[in-house]
A and B are shown apart, each in its own frame.
Chain A
């Protein structure tokens, strides 16, 4: 290890990531967080269900859509750590999904979070009685969410989304 390479930002960033537990992503592994995921879906469905004038078909579609958009924003759109207490930018430009379990693929949490939207999609298409319009919206939202979770998409940035700004000059 030469001195010059120790000054390299990437090398130090990886070191810093492994130096302590990432409090921003560790909670995702908690069983409570898994449960909350389901409870939130139930609440969303309940919320859309009680609004007058919304058919059960529409409420299922809105539920899937809300869950997918919400989880996309949470796991794939926001980068870094919101509270810069300890990590001091060690996770800058890295999404929450990429931070989970230190980037290890196919862990239990990842499997769970991948399966939930699929099950939700199957349920909602079933209860919307396979109306073509609702089906395509649900499918699109789910597939985009699933693509973002693919191992081959790890730290890959498409269409300038979340593009890491190069501060290395």
Chain B
């Protein structure tokens, strides 16, 4: 004990030992360590390692695993703040936006086949509304609406599941199912949200939807919110559809572990953006071959196509029961509001709890419901047949005139379609020196303005939210034919449009 260093070390150790013993419960720990040594240093190292890991884990700071934010220094932050320029609250309008605002026609008074417009105060021949059968000005329907208004009032005061269902809603559902020949039907309060709601009620994450890339905006949004895997096939190209279905089949064979998925083919009856018709017979063939369900959007074709207006199924002589879901709009031809989905009972009942637009939206007002029902009834009467015939004749008349100018008007619509998309042929545009989409829009707007002022015809460009369209169609003028116009009026309007197209091109040359 004469070495002071050794003495100091010894005393330190004994002090530590004493202080450890002083801590309550330390005896157990000391015992534990004494017991656990048992002449096995390797095991002790293992246990110590685990204990150290636990302590280290406890002391670690929390962090997000997917964090890939850029770490900035104080100086960099200051620099960025100094550089920052606030964006204007309201962006200055671009030329095309200003044109869009200035040239929009405003209708004064009631909508109809010949509405009065604000710009000139004149009545124009309406070729811009989806009032295909002229139901808007139908006196019988008006009378029915007034009577219903007196009986039921205006709104339905709630979603269908919460006191929003009226007897007339159920009657309309039955009427649609009876008219189309399906087992059952369900009505929605908004035409636009119907298809989106139907798609997302059935197709979920992991499911597969095969969609025509010429589909309208509502279908695109529906596929997007469904979170399914979306496959696009070329517009109305059945060979391409088969290629897509085949590639999915081959892929599925390769992935044996893939869970069972629901598969859908979604297409439109009468394409809003092209005016042509989906080849339903071929689609049904492929559906059966590859075992898919078909969701058919008949928003524009319902009440228009087929001998008695039953839509695409009637046109192709396909039983409506074979199409899994027929979705339609009552806001177009029927001049009411809302939409419907017709199909088997299970399909319809599923939507009563899972169709978002059905569950979370107030049901449609009684008078619109009754008008829609009445409008369907008219379709089956001689009056309806006459209207349909007149619509076909008017469409054919307009088409015939336009086809006479194929060198400067390109028509993507098929015969019998009341929607006519008129475009400049690409070659004509190139020679006229029109290259960008905006220039083309301006050129078409000139035509729209000219026929409105000179010939008293109201037409419109087809308008899209360009950035939101998956496959943006070329710009066009969309002419909607109405059954209640006379043949003469339609012919005159068609001539006016044809001349305006030619003039617009020649002005640029």
Q: Which residues of A contact B (CB under 8 A)?
A: 3-4, 6-7, 9, 12-13, 16, 88-90, 92, 103-107, 111, 114-115, 118-119, 121-122, 125-126, 130, 135, 139, 142, 146, 151, 154-155, 163, 165-169
Contact = CB atoms under 8 A, between A and B. Distances in A.
Contact of B205 (A13, A107, A130, A142): A13
Interface in B43-57: 43, 46-47, 50-51, 53-54, 57
Interface string B49-88: 0110110011011111110000000000000000000000
A130 B289 CA distance: 66
B467 interface: yes
A78 B51 CA distance: 28
Contacts, number: 97
Contacts of B258: 165-167
Contacts of A103: 64-66
A111 B47 contact: no
A150 B345 CA distance: 50
Given A9-B229, A89-B227, A139-B46, A104 B65 contact: yes
Given A104-B62, A126-B32, A118 B227 contact: no
B61 A165 contact: no
Interface in B7-52: 32, 35-36, 38, 40, 43, 46-47, 50-51
B489 interface: no
Contact of B227 (A4, A9, A154): A9
A111 B58 CA distance: 6
Nearest to B257: A165
B231 interface: yes
A87 to B, nearest CB: 9
A119 B36 CA distance: 14
Contacts of B257: 163, 165
12 contacts: A7-B470, A9-B227, A12-B227, A105-B60, A105-B63, A122-B51, A125-B36, A125-B47, A126-B32, A130-B36, A155-B65, A167-B206
Nearest to B62: A106
B205 A88 contact: yes
A101 B36 CA distance: 37
B114 interface: no
B454 interface: no
Classify chain B's interface size: 35 or more
State the 8 A-B residue pairs at the shortest beta-carbon distance, nearest first.
A89-B205, A106-B62, A106-B60, A118-B54, A154-B65, A167-B206, A169-B251, A165-B257
A90 B57 CA distance: 29
B261 interface: yes
B255 A166 contact: yes
A115 B468 CA distance: 50
Given A89-B206, A106-B60, A169-B208, A3 B467 contact: yes
Contacts of B65: 103-105, 151, 154-155
Given A115-B58, A135-B43, A166-B255, 6 more contacts: A103-B64, A111-B60, A114-B57, A118-B54, A125-B47, A126-B35
B315 interface: no
Nearest to B261: A167
B106 to A, nearest CB: 31
Nearest to A116: B54
A26 to B, nearest CB: 17
B50 A122 contact: yes
Given A103-B65, A103-B66, A169 B58 contact: no
B204 interface: yes
B231 to A, nearest CB: 7
B66 A88 contact: no
Nearest to B227: A12
B259 interface: yes
